[in-house]
Chains A and B, each alone.
Chain A
Amino acid sequence: MNWTIAIPEIVLSLLGMGILIFGVLQKRNTFHMCSMLTVGALIFTMVLVVSGASGLGYSGLFLADSYAVYVKLLVLAASVLGIVVSLDYNEHENLRRFEFPVLMLFATVGMMIMASASNMMSLYMGVELQSLAIYVLAAFARDDLRSSEAGLKYFVLGALASGLLLYGISLVYGFSGSMAFDHLAFVLADPSRASAGLVVGIVFVVAGLAFKISAVPFHMWTPDVYEGAPTPVTAFMATAPKVAAVALFVRVMIGPFGHLVSQWQQLIVLVSIGSMALGALAAIGQGNIKRLMAYSSIGHMGYILVGLAAGTQVGVRGVLIYLVTYVFTNAGMFACLVAMRRRGRAVERIADLGGLGKTDPGMAAALTIFLFSMAGIPPFAGFIGKYFVFVAAVNTGLWTLAVIGMVASAISAFYYIRIIKVMYFDAPEAAFDARPSSLSVVAGAGALFTTVFFIFPAPVVAAAEAAAKVLFG
């Protein structure tokens, strides 16, 4: 059996268990130590992913191809950034428990399995492993009412979504006789063979996955969970799991259901329009920056789905490029939000950023770059991402979607720009506490990437192109 293709996942799980045992056996507090070990483990896994073998294995449950490699690298990078962002916050908020990085590690393993899933069963396993770890993380500040509430909400709604997903999978299995992606694709090669029951099953699968990427109309949990969860957890939730879920979503729609584009395209278009519109409109009234980021991420998912709605190789390439810009912009943005701390207390109102341009020019400049990037203003990375997904929409003639996307993007620019206005044009609030170097590094790296990405997009575009090609190969 070709078991070597899963070596990165196996090694990472073993390392995670090792770190867990190490943390349990040590008497003193090992949060920092374990975090560092986890970062090391993740980076080591990146090396394994790059050099790993490819192919289909484990009785067709697990697939390692260049698409999976692309997604895994991005997920691992996002997890590393997530852990670095949490270091200082957890010290301050009395969350220095070694389980924290370990949970992130296991969530990451789940995401890697999602990226490599080639069967409905492994898909579900990956999704659940990822979700369960994050449910716990969301409630990690267990003495904090909001965090517990966020965890519970996320768990209940997440369980519902998992139920939908599972139900959809069972319908698909029942009406097609298989759960393997390649077999499904073979069976459905003739779209006329797709019975009504199968289409209903697909709708349920889409609903379950749409919940995981918080797309309208399955977005309700997002603002509350984003707001309640500890900020580093929010940062993590906004980046790595989104990448994995989007990647999975794309693989499922293009792979097994790829021949049914005409059936699900309308669905994705509607979800995409809803997400873009809600992301643009609902964020305007927010005063809490974490809630605002929640709506912003809903909007971004809408743009990403534009690429999926096209259902072409160009579209998938756009999605993959968008994900890269999305991860780095968001990681940097959240690093700045975690650094919003005044006299030891974390603050999260937009008004708290008042006059940041005077009190902390460096952080204000970085935030400005991230916000312009999210608004899709060239030359920042976010523009490149948007460009590539809209290329796909235009390419397939989805004009309505493209026009609505452009309008939504103009509206959402309003609230991004408003934050810049608060930072530069409003009267200064008291300065924030000194920024720990870990956050400065993440924010600086994110800002640098976001700014110079437009000069060297070619390698990322080439990698995305190759990854997208695999799905259509």
Chain B
Amino acid sequence: MNAAGFPILTLLTFLPLVGVAIILTVRGDEAVVAANARWMALWTSLVIFVMSLVLWAKFDLADPGFQFVESASWLPQVGLTYKMGVDGISVLFVLLATALTPICILASWESITTRVREYMIAFLVLETMMVGMFSALDFLVFYMFFEGVLIPMYLIIGIWGGPRRVYAALKFFLYTLAGSLLMLLALLAMWNQAGTTDIAVLMHTVFAPRMQMWLFVAFFASFAVKVPMWPVHTWLPDAHVEAPTAGSVILAGVLLKMGAYGFLRFSVPMLPDAAAYFAPYIYTLSVVAVIYTSLVALAQTDMKKLIAYSSVAHMGVVTIGIFTFNAQGMSGALFQMLSHGIVAAALFLCVGVIYDRMHTREIARYGGLAHRMPAYALTFMIFTMASVGLPGTAGFAGEFLVLIGSFKVNIWLAFLGGMGMILGAIYMLYLYRRIVFGALQRADLKGILDLSPREVAIFVPLVIVTIWMGVYPSSFTQFFDASVGAMVDHHQAAIAAATKLAGVIR
């Protein structure tokens, strides 16, 4: 039995479906159903969040391997098992998913008025998929959750989204599906060689260098779209702009991390030679992403689009960090993923707050909000600073570690990657100035209200976490230090072995 004493990951994964079942049984007129669905979804997600804190409490920081492992026979004939477990790399993402879901449900409390029941069901199903994906220890189980995420997200964007939602939903779906199908092929190829899809076994299976190249390309097709890396990022701005606020929050907060998580879980440990071979290309794409999308962000007139492009830039920093293959870079990437998960989610919520009031995301339609909404201005500022990477906020530690890591690889990489911080400061502060400062000129802004108690309840935990991550980052880094260290050792050993082999052959 695992450290929790009960199958916690399975429960975390499938409890949302129990909530769905209960919501489905609610009868009555639309208002009653909507109210019940909201409360039920909120309670379900809160219970799950509280339960997931067990992971935080009981996680053994010194153990780099998988913990809370549980497995059950699924398809013994072909070597497939249902296996769940978390290590230092995934545990915090499970927590991120369980923490953001109740926040999303709260954020949709009033802004979603049509088909509330279906909306809440979609969110709970999405939670199942996200938690399942981060805790799956069998490749096929992982794949099923990874793809399954598309279904609720497609519906969330397509039904409750903005005016161009249909286009955005379809683009989102097809882009990510096309990528993942290649990953499925890679999965089959790995299964064919190793005879199992157990991730822990695959991590220690040595694949021939040539095969690694192909597998890496197939994985890359899937994960690069999900991250998203330049130039396959174009679905993201569309999806973000058209999605409802909570959809954007979960998209930026958790779904973008799936790609980077995939790199960390599969590409780097399972295909070390190919990862080392392709690293320069990844650096190039990431640097382009950081600089190019930062400049694009600067030119945006739509708030959500601006933050969407900034997400691409921030994720570029993450991919640089992952492929430095040293402890600082990888820890930095993980930290940046977490902080971006919190901060970008919070920024989308900030946009949602004023969008709910004014029903526009045009930056030019705002200005001088500080006069009417001081609490909002303060909140927005904290997250803007965190996004910029101000020391003392969540954004700093991650970017700093990645920079150190990339310095060890190449000074130019560090320099160009670091440009992102400067450009980020420019576009974020420019955004903040245009919305919050200046004179309050527009007549319809004069009656705008400050944060409601519900919105305060949403933002307070996010603010606390943001500052906590900035002031005392080691309470988060301690979770993944052991796992990252093991991964770096594993990578170096594999590279050394490959070099030695090449030497022998030569």
Residues of A within 8 A of B (CB): 357-358, 361, 372, 377-379, 383, 387, 390-391, 393-395, 402-403, 406-407, 409-410, 413-414, 417-418, 420-421, 424-425, 454, 457-458, 461-462, 465
The residues of A that contact B184 with a CB separation of less than 8 Å are 387, 390, 406
B335 at the interface (CB under 8 A from A): no
Q: Are B185 and A406 in touch, CB under 8 angstroms?
A: yes
Given A377-B150, A390-B184, A394-B188, CB of A461 within 8 Å of CB of B77: yes
- Closest chain B residue to A388 by CB distance? B78
Residues in chain A near residue B75, CB distance under 8 A: 457-458, 461
Within 8 A of A (CB), among B114-149: 115, 118, 140, 143-145, 147-148
For residue B496, CB closer than 8 A to chain A, the reply is no
Please report the number of residue pairs spanning A and B whose Cβ atoms sit closer than 8 angstroms.
87
Given A406-B185, A421-B169: A413 touches B158 (CB 8 Å cut-off):
no
Please give 14 more A-B residue pairs, beta carbons under 8 A apart, in addition to A394-B189, A425-B158, A425-B166.
Answer: A357-B118, A377-B150, A394-B185, A402-B185, A406-B184, A407-B178, A414-B174, A417-B154, A421-B169, A425-B159, A458-B74, A458-B76, A461-B78, A462-B77
Query: By CB atoms of chain B within 10 A, which of A361, A379, A402 has the most?
Result: A379
Instruction: Name A406's contact: one of B118, B165, B181, B192 (CB within 8 Å).
Output: B181
Q: How far is the CA of A169 from the CA of B301 in the complex (A)?
A: 71
Q: Are B181's CB and A379's CB within 8 A? A: no
| Nearest CB on A from B170, distance (A) | 6
Please report the C-alpha to C-alpha distance between residue A47 and residue B170 in the assembled complex, in whole angstroms: 46
Mark out the residues of chain B between 291 and 348 whose CB falls within 8 Å of any chain A CB in the assembled complex: none
Which residues on A sit within 8 Å (CB–CB) of B191? 391, 394
By a CB distance below 8 angstroms, the chain B residues around A421 are: 158, 166, 169-170
| Interchain nearest-CB distance for A250 vs B (Å) | 19
User: Quick check: B188 and A391 within 8 Å, CB to CB?
Assistant: yes
Scan residues 24-78 of chain B and give those whose CB is less than 8 A from a CB of chain A. 73-78
Question: Among A377, A395, A465, which residue has its beta carbon within 8 angstroms of that of B192?
Answer: A395
Min CB gap A307→B, angstroms: 13
CB-defined A-B contacts under 8 Å, sample of 13: A372-B151, A377-B147, A377-B148, A378-B148, A379-B148, A394-B191, A406-B185, A414-B170, A417-B174, A418-B170, A420-B154, A421-B169, A425-B165
Q: Does B182 contact A (CB under 8 A)?
A: yes
Q: How far is the CA of A357 from the CA of B182 in the complex (A)?
A: 32
Chain A contact residues: over half helix, strand or loop, or mixed? helix
Distance (Å) between the CB of B76 and the closest chain A CB? 7
Distance, CA A387 to CA B79, complexed state (A): 14
CA distance A413 to B180 in the complex (A): 13
Contact A391 B78, CB 8 Å, known A417-B154, A425-B159, A454-B144:
yes
Residue B173 is within 8 A (CB to CB) of chain A in the complex = yes
Which residues does chain B contribute within 8 Å of A372, judged by CB atoms? 151
Question: In the complex, are the beta carbons of A417 and B77 less than 8 A apart?
Answer: no
Distance from B417 Cβ to chain A, minimum over Cβ atoms (Å):
33
Q: How distant is A249 from chain B, measured CB to nearest CB, in Å?
A: 24
Measured in the bound complex, the distance between the Cα atoms of B155 and A454 in whole Å is 22
Whether B494 sits at the interface, judged by CB under 8 Å, is: no
| Beta-carbon contact of B155 and A413 below 8 Å | no
Smallest Cβ-Cβ distance to A455: which chain B residue: B74
B354 close to chain A: CB less than 8 A: no
B residues near A402, Cβ cutoff 8 Å: 185, 188
Please report the C-alpha to C-alpha distance between residue A458 and residue B75 in the assembled complex, in whole angstroms. Answer: 5
B158 touches A424 (CB 8 A): yes
A154 to chain B, nearest CB (A): 34
Q: Is the CB of B148 within 8 A of A424?
A: no
Q: Which of B246-302 contact A (CB under 8 A)?
A: none
A403 touching B177, Cβ below 8 Å: no
Check B143–A378 contact: CB distance below 8 A.
yes
Give the distance in Å from the alpha carbon of A377 to the alpha carbon of B154 in the complex: 12
- Interface centre among B166, B181, B182, by most chain A C-beta atoms within 10 angstroms, is B181
How many angstroms between the C-alpha atoms of A407 and B181 in the bound complex? 8
A406 CA to B184 CA, complexed, in Å: 9
Q: Which 10 A-B pairs have the closest CB atoms?
A: A378-B144, A394-B188, A406-B181, A410-B178, A378-B147, A379-B144, A425-B158, A425-B166, A394-B192, A410-B181
Alpha-carbon distance between A424 and B178 when the two chains are bound, in angstroms: 23
Cβ of B325 to closest chain A Cβ, rounded Å: 29
Contacts of B178 in A (CB 8 A): 407, 410
Residues of A within 8 A of B77 (CB): 458, 461-462, 465
Which residues of A sit under 8 angstroms from B158, Cβ to Cβ? 421, 424-425
Bound Cα distance A402, B188 (Å): 10
Q: Give the residue name and chain of the B residue nearest to A403 (CB).
A: B185
**Chain A min CB distance to B216 (Å):** 16
